[in-house]
Amino acid sequence: MSLASGSLATVGGLATTQTSLGNFLLARTGDATVTALTATCTHEGCTVTNMSGNQFVCPCHGSTFNASGSVAKGPATRALQQFPTQVANGVVTFTV
């Protein structure tokens, strides 16, 4: 995904993306750093699709997660799985 435009253009931006491997959440955490997370909520497996401020929100039961995937508000009690990322030439890639 390109960092040049859209919601990841600035630090603090959040985005969702769909790949052939599933749905993922992306957070721009620095000038050249992005966090990639699974979009599967650890509470009951719903797909996290919403964003509010600087948090990801599960639409099923309202669990919220911060940009690193940690639980900000339950009912989820476990963090979202995080994947290694690389940023090169304004493009983020991640390994599942």
**What domain range is 42 assigned to?**
6-87
Chain mean pLDDT for the chain: 92
Q: How many CB atoms lie within 10 A of CB 39?
A: 21
Q: Give residue-wise pLDDT tens across range 60-79.
A: 999 999 999 999 999 999 99
71: CATH:
2.102.10.10
Q: Which residues pair with 92 in a beta bridge?
A: 87
**1 is a domain residue:** no
Torsion from C-alpha of 29, 84, 78, 13, nearest 10 degrees: 20
Round to whole Å and give the CA distance between 85 and 36: 7
For 16, 33, 60, 64, 65, the CA distances from 52, given in Å and listed in that order, are: 13, 21, 15, 9, 10
Q: Is residue 72 part of a domain?
A: yes
pTM: 0.91
**Count of structural domains, the chain:** 1
